[in-house]
């Protein structure tokens, strides 16, 4: 599996942008821990996947191992940005149910040597729903933007884009992998570009946040 | 052309799973948050009762030990002055009037102190305190309390205070809110517990209604909380037009870890 396009490598590395943003700004860990964990997991998943691919070895099992954890970290990051205790606890319960569902699906319904048909799309759809809810609540809900941190929309937006791309990618591959492999290759490159954009948005959200979530303090940094 | 329908059925399953997970999570979260809210509410009510009791103890001490004492001292000085001075009849009449008024003021202050905090329970026992309470309520006229108190009640401090307060609150509710002219109070020992039952022939109320009259609703909540605080329970049975029965079952001994005198931590 040599000759992997450069864009795929860049996409894998883009997962480290939020980590770089945090290091560069020397921000406190509190308020960023789940975003940074998601970033680290995605970086690990893609980097290890690329390495195994260059060695000609199957790398699909990585998605079943690290994918649910990645989506769990994203959901926890979104939970920290909710304004009500009910919403926060809902997100945390979703994490538990998602991990349980992914485990069951991986053991009984998935082919671990092939693209995921259940577990990864499930995690992606849940993160997409959670991100969309966070954006709608932040933008239009009661007390939406007032008193919000400047990054209230960047991180959820980045997660929404990432999860939307992921949720669409797996079914597409399932349908066209055998009949249109060249098309699937192009779609992979498009996915890579969108994932880079997604992590750039998340990194910007980390960069412009100056205090912990739900701290109530306004930020002087520009968004 | 690939069979899109056949290839996409897992995605439809995933969509259904997603919706199911979200619905389950929302439902579970609402249940958990409601339980936490109820716990916070119960904790708040407990704290309210504790703070109220502590404040009343302080006020009762000030009224009884300071104000009533000062009134006694002024009255005694007045009596001594009256005995020593050579007063004409009009002056003596005024003096006697002032002595009587101060005497009544002192009695009223002591009653107020006892109403604020039932020190009589500790000083003279629960039966004496309850009899004093019933006599006080009857003294205004138009209200009769039929009472039956067992001889050997002997609950320790906080259970005794709780029973006194519950009987007090129930009788006051019967007078103020129920418009009752008669009430029946029974306090007896049942093994390790003291059972107090207060029944009135007032207007009663619908216990299943969402909103009781504000004051009596709050009074019932506080009574229930007082019973719970000392490890007991309280039940209220009432129907419109059929009066109200309040039954409290209180352990005669204070709950474990309780040192009797509650310390208010600020």
pLDDT in tens, B202-212: 888 877 764 45
Query: What's residue B1's pLDDT?
Result: 57
Instruction: Judge whether B157 and B252 are in contact, CB under 8 Å.
Output: no
Q: Which residue of chain A is at minimal alpha-carbon distance from B33?
A: A86
Query: What's residue B210's pLDDT?
Result: 46
Within an 8 Å CB–CB cutoff, is residue A93 touching chain B? Answer: yes
Query: What's residue B12's pLDDT?
Result: 87
**Closest by Cβ to A125, choosing from B14, B29, B36:** B14
Closest CA to B170 of B120, B126, B133, B211: B133
CB contact under 8 A, A174 and B7: yes
Exposure class string for A76-104: b at 16+ Cβ within 10 A, else e: bbbbbbbbeeebbbbbbbbbebbbebbee
**Is pLDDT larger for residue A125 or for residue B262?**
A125
H or E segment to which residue B19 belongs: helix B4-61
**Predicted confidence band at B157 (pLDDT cuts at 50, 70, 90)?**
confident
CB contact under 8 A, B14 and A118: yes
Closest CA to A78 of A5, A163, A167, A15: A163
For testing contact with chain A, the best of B6, B9, B11 (most A CBs within 10 A)? B11
CB contact under 8 A, A101 and B17: yes
Distance from CA of B49 to the nearest CA of A (A): 27
Distance from CA of B214 to the nearest CA of A (A): 29
- Measured CA distances, B145 to B32, B165, B170, B193, B236 (Å): 46, 16, 12, 23, 19
Tokens (6 digits) for A108: 């009984």
Query: What's residue B183's pLDDT?
Result: 92
H or E segment to which residue A2 belongs: none
Residues of chain A with pLDDT under 50: 1, 144-147, 212-223
Mean pLDDT of B22-31: 92
- Measured CA distances, B197 to A78, A116, B142, B170, B225 (Å): 55, 68, 21, 9, 17
Instruction: Judge whether A197 and A161 are in contact, CB under 8 Å.
Output: yes
Query: What's residue A148's pLDDT?
Result: 55
Which chain A residues have a beta carbon less than 8 Å from that of B15? Answer: 125
CA atoms in the 13 A half-sphere facing the CB of A17: 21
Query: What's residue B155's pLDDT?
Result: 65
CA-based end-to-end distance of chain A: 41
Q: Judge whether residue B106 has pLDDT over 50.
A: yes
CB contact under 8 A, B25 and A101: no
User: CA-to-CA distance for A132 and A136, rounded, in angstroms?
Assistant: 6
Which chain B residues have a beta carbon less than 8 Å from that of A72? Answer: none
User: CA-to-CA distance for A126 and A76, rounded, in angstroms?
Assistant: 12
Closest CA to B220 of B238, B195, B202: B238
Query: What's residue B225's pLDDT?
Result: 84
Indicate the DSSP class of residue B254.
P
Within an 8 Å CB–CB cutoff, is residue A129 touching chain B? Answer: yes
Instruction: Judge whether A126 and B22 are in contact, CB under 8 Å.
Output: yes
- Measured CA distances, B79 to B65, B74, B75, B195, B215 (Å): 21, 9, 6, 47, 44
Query: What's residue A145's pLDDT?
Result: 46
Tokens (6 digits) for B217: 């609703």
Distance from CA of B45 to the nearest CA of A (A): 22
Q: Which residue has the tokens 């943003």?
A: A21
Is ipTM strictly over 0.85? no
- Measured CA distances, B240 to B102, B144, B210 (Å): 44, 21, 14
H or E segment to which residue B149 belongs: strand B144-149
**Closest by Cβ to A94, choosing from B10, B22, B32:** B22
What digits encode the pLDDT tens for the residues B144-155?
A: 999 998 877 666
B18 phi/psi in degrees, rounded to 5? -60, -50
Q: Which residue has the tokens 């149910």?
A: A97
Q: Which residues pair with B145 in a beta bridge?
A: B183
Which chain A residues have a beta carbon less than 8 Å from that of B18? Answer: 122, 125-126, 129
Within an 8 Å CB–CB cutoff, is residue A173 touching chain B? Answer: no
Indicate the DSSP class of residue B140.
T
User: CA-to-CA distance for B215 and B223, rounded, in angstroms?
Assistant: 12
**Cα B71 vs. chain centroid, distance in angstroms?**
29
Within an 8 Å CB–CB cutoff, is residue A172 touching chain B? Answer: no
Which chain A residues have a beta carbon less than 8 Å from that of B29? Answer: 86-87, 89-90, 93
Q: Residue A139 contacts by C-beta under 8 Å, 6 or more apart in sequence?
A: A145, A153
Query: What's residue A196's pLDDT?
Result: 96
Q: Which residue of chain B is at minimal alpha-carbon distance from A125?
A: B18
What digits encode the pLDDT tens for the residues B65-89?
A: 888 889 988 998 888 888 888 888 8
């Amino acid at each position: 599996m040599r000759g992997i396009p450069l864009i795929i490598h860049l996409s894998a590395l883009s997962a480290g942008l939020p980590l770089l943003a945090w290091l560069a700004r020397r921000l406190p860990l509190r308020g960023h821990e789940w975003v940074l964990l998601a970033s680290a997991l995605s970086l690990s998943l893609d980097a290890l996947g690329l390495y195994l691919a260059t060695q000609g070895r199957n790398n699909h099992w990585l998605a079943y191992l690290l994918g649910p954890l990645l989506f769990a970290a994203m959901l926890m990051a979104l939970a920290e940005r909710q304004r009500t205790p009910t919403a926060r606890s809902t997100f945390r319960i979703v994490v538990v149910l998602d991990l349980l569902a992914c485990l069951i699906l991986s053991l009984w319904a998935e082919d671990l040597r092939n693209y995921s048909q259940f577990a990864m799309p499930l995690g992606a759809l849940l993160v997409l729903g959670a991100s969309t809810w966070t954006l709608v609540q932040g933008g239009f809900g009661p007390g939406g933007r007032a008193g919000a941190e400047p990054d209230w929309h960047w991180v959820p937006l980045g997660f929404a884009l990432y999860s939307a791309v992921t949720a669409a990618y797996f079914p597409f591959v399932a349908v066209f992998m055998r009949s249109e492999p060249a098309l699937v290759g192009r779609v992979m490159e498009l996915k890579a570009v969108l994932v880079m954009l997604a992590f750039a948005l998340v990194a910007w959200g980390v960069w412009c946040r100056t205090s912990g979530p739900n701290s109530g303090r306004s930020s002087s940094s520009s968004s | 052309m690939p069979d899109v329908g056949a290839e996409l059925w897992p995605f439809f399953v995933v969509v259904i799973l997603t919706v199911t997970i979200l619905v389950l999570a929302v439902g579970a979260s609402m249940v958990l948050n409601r339980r936490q809210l109820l716990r916070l509410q119960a904790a708040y009510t407990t704290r309210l009762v504790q703070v109220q009791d502590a404040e009343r103890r302080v006020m009762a001490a000030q009224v009884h030990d300071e104000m009533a004492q000062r009134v006694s001292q002024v009255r005694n000085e007045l009596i001594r002055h009256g005995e020593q001075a050579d007063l004409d009849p009009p002056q003596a009449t005024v003096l006697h009037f002032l002595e009587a008024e101060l005497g009544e003021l002192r009695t009223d202050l002591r009653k107020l102190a006892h109403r604020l905090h039932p020190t009589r329970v500790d000083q003279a026992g629960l039966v004496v305190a309850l009899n004093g309470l019933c006599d006080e309520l009857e003294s205004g006229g138009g209200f009769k309390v039929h009472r039956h108190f067992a001889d050997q009640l002997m609950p320790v401090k906080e259970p005794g205070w709780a029973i006194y307060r519950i009987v007090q609150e129930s009788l006051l509710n019967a007078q103020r809110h129920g418009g009752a002219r008669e009430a029946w109070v029974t306090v007896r020992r049942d093994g390790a517990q003291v059972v107090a039952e207060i029944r009135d022939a007032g207007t009663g109320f619908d216990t299943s209604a969402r909103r009781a009259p504000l004051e009596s609703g709050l009074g019932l909540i506080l009574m229930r909380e007082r019973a719970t605080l000392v490890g007991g329970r309280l039940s209220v049975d009432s129907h419109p037009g059929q009066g109200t029965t309040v039954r409290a079952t209180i352990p005669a001994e204070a709950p474990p870890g309780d040192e009797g005198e509650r310390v208010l931590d600020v």
